[in-house]
Amino acid sequence: MQLYNTLSAEERAIMIDDAGKQRLTLSFYAYAKIQDPQKFRNDLFIAWNALDALGRIYVAHEGINAQMSVPAENFEAFRETLEAYDFMKGIRLNVAVEQDDHSFLKLTIKVRHKIVADGLNDDTFDVTNIGVHLKAKEFNEILDDPNTIVVDFRNHYESEVGHFKGAITPDVETFRESLPIINEQLKDHKDDKNLVMYCTGGIRCEKASAYFKHQGFKNVYQLEGGIINYAKQLKEEGLESKFIGKNFVFDNRLGERITDDIISQCHQCGKPCDNHTNCENDGCHLLFIQCDDCKAAMENCCSTECLEIIHMPLVDQVRLRTGKQVGNKVFRKGKSENLKFKHSGELPETALATAQKPADIRQKIKVKKVLLGKAEHYYVKAQVGQFTIENQELNSGDKILISGPTTGDQEMVLNRIIVNGTETQSAKIGDKVTFEVPFRIRLSDKLYKIVN
């Protein structure tokens, strides 16, 4: 019984491109009492893996929180897997405004203590006593009420590229930070103001609205389905958007455009820009805004220090990041003194520029590569890896990529190869190849040739 991924993200991306079929990016959540989250997780993995559904999902005793990519042709079958559970019958699926077949490249379902890290003790208040849900039209109307205070319950890197006009945008890195800050800031308006809140898909507000009602706020409202559902209703009903800019999303797209207004700047040069980048340095991965010119000049790096590091020998890069808690595919949400044009806290509502039609909403150009083979062994003392060639030829001087779930993506140029025990210049299908690798490889690693 398969309960884990057998393909790397790179292999999955190739399969998706080769299939040439549309995929839908969507999200949903549900609070419910789940007795056995581990069994629930395993059952979902089996059902969704069979449908080629991918994504990042958290399950806990309190419910489920999911962001996913599903083949369009399997959409109804996927919905049926949800309908099998009473608490997900008729569940709202927030379908993304902008689609990208590569939004998710693995199916990751994790059992957590909570489906959103809110830092709250749920036993101290009624989590079901939530605020009034507002649809887009109702939300627009209440924003026009002078007695309304609207609060963005997302983080600084999300609100910087897009937010509702007039919203309070806390300068925080996590949801749990915002709750006490907002409670203190609005403590004198518990009776006389409408407390209206919003987030990306609605899940953060579901808990926050109950928390603030418990804190004594009388008139609590929340945007139903979050910004994603708001944007959908704008199109369906022809409504005015009171949201300005881009909606940050937690997948490979890193954003979907709601309006053509660009309200943020490249963190490096100050040019109007709202495209996020993960720093290329595997020991950093800082999330920041970077324009195309700086992306080319800085090679996806956030600083000259990181730019120097990515050009170091791989063995030195590995040594520098040893012990750092930065995953190869996980962005770091902090700030840096190197980024002179980073804004947070009170944010502008005036557009700095108008967005052009995007050519590619992914954060960086894909590396063109061809799968050659797989890892067979790693000789630790000699720092030598052995691979079996299963496709095409490998030659001395080729630029290669070694990729795996633990190893990550490591590029290097082959200066010397041993083929079937003899030093030579090329290897063909069926050959055993060994060469120096300055980092540990695993049997799950794949070997690619970079062709661009």
Determine whether 199 is an active site residue: yes
Whether the Cβ atoms of residue 282 and residue 312 lie closer than 8 Å to each other: no
Report d(CA 441, CA 231) in Å as an integer.
Answer: 45
Above pLDDT 90, what percent of the chain?
71
Q: What is the pLDDT of residues 93-141, one digit of tens each?
A: 999 988 888 999 999 999 999 999 888 888 888 888 999 999 999 999 9
Q: What is the pLDDT of residue 90?
A: 93
pLDDT score of 328 more than 60: no
Whether the Cβ atoms of residue 24 and residue 72 lie closer than 8 Å to each other: yes
Distance of CA 140 to the CA centre of its chain: 28
Residue 243 and residue 139 share a domain:
yes
Residue 210 and residue 80 share a domain:
no
Report d(CA 17, CA 115) in Å as an integer.
Answer: 32
Helix intervals (H) in 226-334: 226-237, 292-298, 304-310, 314-321
Element (H, E) at 185: helix 175-185
Higher pLDDT, 380 or 149: 149
Q: What is the pLDDT of residue 363?
A: 45
Higher pLDDT, 305 or 331: 305
With cut-offs at 50, 70 and 90, classify the pLDDT of residue 365: very low
Point out the catalytic residue in the list 199, 266, 279, 306: 199
Residue 101 and residue 65 share a domain:
yes
Is residue 3 in some structural domain? no
Report d(CA 248, CA 131) in Å as an integer.
Answer: 24
Residue 337 and residue 353 share a domain:
no
Residue 97 and residue 29 share a domain:
yes
Residue 70 and residue 137 share a domain:
no
Angle at 402 between CA 400 and CA 404, to 5 degrees: 155
With cut-offs at 50, 70 and 90, classify the pLDDT of residue 361: very low
Mean pLDDT over 324-337 rounds to 71
Residue 385 and residue 325 share a domain:
no
Is residue 1 in some structural domain? no
End-to-end CA distance of the chain: 39
Q: What is the pLDDT of residue 357?
A: 67
Residue 252 and residue 145 share a domain:
yes
Helix intervals (H) in 5-36: 9-19
Q: What is the pLDDT of residue 367?
A: 60
243-247 and 162-164 beta bridge pairing: antiparallel
Report d(CA 367, CA 203) in Å as an integer.
Answer: 35
pLDDT score of 315 more than 90: no
Whether the Cβ atoms of residue 375 and residue 385 lie closer than 8 Å to each other: yes
pTM for the structure as a whole: 0.76
Residue 96 and residue 235 share a domain:
no
Residue 431 and residue 301 share a domain:
no
